[in-house]
Amino acid sequence: MPEQAFPNPDQMYDEATSLKEQGDLEGAVKKLREIIVTSPNHVLTHSALAVNLQKLGQKEDAVAHAKKVVELEPEDPFSYTQLSVICQRCGLIREAEDAMAQSRNMQH
């Protein structure tokens, strides 16, 4: 009996990207959520979920995934920049300004 292999998160991410490029944003989100089940710390997936969920109007989930990126990569200024953009697009201006300030502070 063949050994059950875990899905490769990078391959699944590529599949999600393809779905998004074909205009199937909801399908892409579904595929990205599958990655999180087996690879909960896959940073690219959380980043993509933040963007895609924001586009779908799922603001709370979008911000939560952007915050997860910051949690996973706290030394990367881009993590805070993305959080700022997602917060801004979700109407959370104060949080967006705080995240942008954090990003700027890290770059000096």
Of 51, 78, 76, the C-alpha closest to 64 is 51
Architecture in CATH of 9-106: Alpha Horseshoe (1.25)
pLDDT for 5:
60
Question: What are the residue boundaries of the structural domains of the chain, listed by start?
Answer: 9-106
- Copy the structure tokens of residue 55: 């586009």
Q: Which pLDDT tens digit goes with each residue over 69-108?
A: 999 999 999 999 999 999 999 999 999 999 999 999 998 7
Give percent above pLDDT 90 in the chain.
91
In terms of Cβ atoms closer than 10 Å to its own Cβ (0-12, 13-18, 19+), residue 105 is exposed
